[in-house]
Amino acid sequence: MKLAFFGDVVGRSGRRAVTKHLPRLREDLKLDAVVINGENAAGGFGITESTAGELYDAGADVITLGNHSFDNAGALSYIEREPRLLRPVNYPEGTAPGKGSGLYEIGGFRLLVVNVLGRVFMDALDDPFAAVNKELDACPLGEIADVIIIDIHAEATSEKNAMGHVCDGRASLVVGTHQHVPTADTRILAGGTAYQSDAGMCGDYSGVIGMDKAEPIHRFTTRLRGGRFEVASGEATVCGVFVETDNKTGLAIRAEPIRIGPGLMPHMPEV
């Protein structure tokens, strides 16, 4: 199975880039499934039904979220109606609407997607490792699921790296989101799980992690607020990870980064 995961879509510029490039990527890379983190899709903070719709229309099969899951109030009701939208699985039971994992039939494959929030330098939810272990135990790779993707939305690369090793041999891909900068550690771990500490963002890299640079620079240099953060509006770069799995085991046999657009060194897998 060939699949792609794309990092945090930031605002209108990120959505436009996904809309522009994803249809061709699905065709050129012969993708069976696409998962996108969309927690910054609406104005840089949260997601709405209409912004999620743009990503689905562009070719996303599943959308994951993160610490900004419910910054837009409408997401609270929308996530109850949209099974392809996932918030972190480790919210304390009964505190958040929606679900944190989903098993989907896509192109003849059974795809399990799990979204989990880290705890280091983040809002402290329940134990992310226990939550992911519970999901993997309930839906084993190669038995109930043909392919498994874990999106760990976290600040610390060490926490993400640990999650990769905990899931090694039990998931097809463990990929980090939230930091908005693609890491250079795309690899397949010893047990056959593809891993990258951060997928990067689908956003304008001329700003500061997707935001217009003026306000972040003002705050860093003066320690004062000068106004609101605004999404950088230049041409966005699409960043993600391409993974090919063994159809018998569900483990990765190939993993490469995807980078398309200005601001970063481009990389496009060959199929």
Read off the pLDDT of each residue in 6-30 and give the average, rounded to a whole number: 97
Encode pLDDT of 55-80 as tens digits.
999 999 999 999 999 999 999 999 99
Which listed residue (21, 68, 153, 180) is catalytic?
A: 68
CATH topology of domain 2-259: Purple Acid Phosphatase; chain A, domain 2 (3.60.21)
Residue showing tokens 């979204």: 115
- Whether the pLDDT of residue 229 is over 90: the answer is yes
Percentage of residues in the chain with pLDDT exceeding 90? 98
Mean pLDDT computed over 95-120: 96
Tokens 């699905």 correspond to: 26
Q: Per residue in 173-211, pLDDT tens?
A: 999 999 999 999 999 999 999 999 999 999 999 999 999
C-alpha 88/C-alpha 230 separation (Å) is: 25
Let me know if 68 is a catalytic residue.
Answer: yes
Structure-token pair, residue 50: 């209409």
100 within 8 A of 131, measured Cβ to Cβ: yes
Please count the CA atoms within 13 angstroms of the CA of 40 that sit on its side-chain side.
26
Q: Long-range contacts: 210-213, Cβ < 8 Å, 24+?
A: 210/8, 210/10, 210/11, 210/14, 210/40, 210/44, 210/180, 211/10, 211/44
pLDDT for residue 123: 86
Show me where the domains of the chain are located.
Answer: 2-259
Average pLDDT of the chain to the nearest whole number: 96
What is the tens place of the pLDDT at every residue in 119-178? 999 988 999 999 999 999 999 999 999 999 999 999 999 999 999 999 999 999 999 999
Position 69 scores a pLDDT of 93
Q: Is the pLDDT of residue 107 over 90?
A: no
pLDDT score for 127: 97
